[in-house]
Amino acid sequence: MLRLLFHCSAMNDYFAHMLWLVISILFLLPYTVLLLFYRKWWLQLKQTNPPAGFTPATSFTILIPARNEENNISTCLQSISELNYPKHLVEVIVLDDFSDDATAEKVKQFEEVKLIQLKDVLKDKINSYKKKAIELGVQQSTGSYIVTTDADCIVPVNWLRNFAWIIQQQPTVFIAAPVAMKEENSAIKVFQSLDFISLQGITAASVAAGFHSMCNGANLCYSKEAFYKVDGFKDVDHIASGDDMLLMHKLYKAFPQQVHYCQSQQSIVQTAPVETVGEFFKQRIRWASKADKYDDKRIFWVLLLVYLLNVYFLVLLVACFFSKELWLLLAVSILFKTVMELLFMIPVAGFFNKRKLLYWFPVAQPFHILYTIIAGWLGKFGTYEWKGRKVK
């Protein structure tokens, strides 16, 4: 009898372990296929490389929303002043979002820059001040195309030239472009940069392939006429974030063949990383808060797959404490995930000249799994504070 019970227990353990193995495969297989497609699309990207004789004729208005950016705005505006582009085709507008520091005074030192202060035109509290700022900037712009960046960014000299090349070669309503972290001089900044490289690689691959819409507001270009044709931020203006991706998808739905990606190292905008773990989580929770607001269900399912895979690893970790045989499955699964991600990350990191950071990628893997779970959950069900405002 005891032998029979032992045999039944062993059989139950065997089937339980097989079930865990099957679940691991069911999560890792579609994730792997997705990564391989991203890698393929990345490697197929065409470089944006205007010839030396190219004559730009597109007019741009650069919009820079800024809130308490006295330490960054001057550097940003200085980089814009050095652009390799005809001055008469460039307008710069800084949109001061109720700053209580010297941001406005710093902007006024640049005579060619127009300053709009939200406190002069906005009296009621709203949920998305950045969208309102951009909307006001578009209304007062003179350029035929709007370009957005952030106040803590540095733009490359051929930034607008590359946008103009794309616009003047083919019908264009929206261009997403690359962004990278300025520095990696601490553990949290290395982690951010690795995470950001992966997001930027997925952005480039997915947009170029037309798989789903994705972008970053630090480096965008879109047609002012098209902005008004899709009613700007109407129907998404109540959402605190998403001034980039939610608008992009509206334009993609209306003009699916006119959304492009600018693949050029001379188009990489450098952005500042946050300084602390707390700030990092606030930023990522803010980004995650719009995950279920996308009309683009393709990206929703991608995000859901990624989130559930990471949750599964956490559940499997808990199960390991009840069955020591599962530790091997957990280790092999995470190792497999890491290797497949590195296959995608190596060429992307090379484009951004950050391959040396990949040595830290396996070390960052457990922390990345944990942060994805926490940020995703709080983005959906929690609140967060960003630049002194509590957002629901």
> What pLDDT digit, counting tens, does each position of 187-238 carry?
999 999 999 999 999 999 999 999 988 899 999 999 999 999 999 988 887 7
Which of residues 389 and 320 earns the better pLDDT score?
320
Region 353-359: what's the mean pLDDT? 95
**For residues 117 and 125, what is the distance between their CA atoms, to the nearest angstrom?**
15
SS3 of 17-31: the string is HHHHHHHHHHHHHHH
Lowest mean pLDDT: which of 160-169, 301-310, 380-389?
380-389
99: DSSP letter? -
- Contact between residue 151 and residue 65 where contact means Cβ atoms under 8 Å apart: yes
Quick one: pLDDT at residue 385? 65
Q: What is the DSSP string of 305-322?
A: HHHHHHHHHHHHHHHHTT
Neighbours of 280 (CB within 10 A): 19
Token pair in block for residue 147: 């370009």
- pLDDT tens per residue, range 139-150: 999 999 999 999
What global pTM score does this model have? 0.91
- Contact between residue 223 and residue 172 where contact means Cβ atoms under 8 Å apart: yes
- Contact between residue 221 and residue 177 where contact means Cβ atoms under 8 Å apart: yes
What's the whole-number average pLDDT of the chain? 90
Region 102-112: what's the mean pLDDT? 95
Angle between helix 326-351 and 361-381 (nearest 10): 90
- Contact between residue 337 and residue 164 where contact means Cβ atoms under 8 Å apart: no
For 153, the 3-state DSSP assignment is: coil
Beta bridge partners of 93: 63, 114
What is the percent of the chain with per-residue pLDDT over 90, rounded to a whole number? 70
Q: CB-side exposure of 390: number of CA atoms within 13 Å?
A: 2
Domain residue extents for the chain: 16-44+298-391, 60-178+219-273
Query: Hunting for tokens 């803590």 — which residue is that?
Result: 152
**For residues 340 and 59, what is the distance between their CA atoms, to the nearest angstrom?**
43
Q: Are strands 60-66 and 145-148 parallel, antiparallel or unpaired?
A: parallel
Q: How far is CA 383 from the centre of its chain?
A: 20
**For residues 223 and 227, what is the distance between their CA atoms, to the nearest angstrom?**
6
Q: Residue 384 above 80 pLDDT?
A: no
**For residues 299 and 199, what is the distance between their CA atoms, to the nearest angstrom?**
13
Quick one: pLDDT at residue 16? 77
Region 59-82: what's the mean pLDDT? 96
Region 247-260: what's the mean pLDDT? 93
Q: Residue 1 above 50 pLDDT?
A: no
Backbone angles phi, psi at 259, to 5 degrees: -110, 125
List of residues 6+ apart from 124 with CB closer than 8 A: none
What is the percent of the chain with per-residue pLDDT over 70, rounded to a whole number? 92
**For residues 216 and 337, what is the distance between their CA atoms, to the nearest angstrom?**
25
Q: Residue 381 above 80 pLDDT?
A: no
Q: How confident is the model at residue 7 (pLDDT cuts 50, 70, 90)?
A: very low
Q: How confident is the model at residue 389 (pLDDT cuts 50, 70, 90)?
A: low
Q: Residue 12 above 70 pLDDT?
A: no
Tell me the fold of 60-178+219-273. Spore Coat Polysaccharide Biosynthesis Protein SpsA; Chain A (3.90.550)
Lowest mean pLDDT: which of 10-14, 51-55, 240-244, 257-261?
10-14
Quick one: pLDDT at residue 292? 65
List of residues 6+ apart from 261 with CB closer than 8 A: 45, 175, 176, 177, 203, 204, 207, 208
For 69, the 3-state DSSP assignment is: coil
Q: Distance of CA 312 to CAs 318, 367, 377, Å?
A: 10, 15, 14
- Contact between residue 259 and residue 349 where contact means Cβ atoms under 8 Å apart: no
Backbone angles phi, psi at 324, to 5 degrees: -65, -20
- Contact between residue 128 and residue 238 where contact means Cβ atoms under 8 Å apart: yes
**For residues 185 and 213, what is the distance between their CA atoms, to the nearest angstrom?**
32
Region 152-172: what's the mean pLDDT? 97
Quick one: pLDDT at residue 235? 82
Token pair in block for residue 256: 């699916």
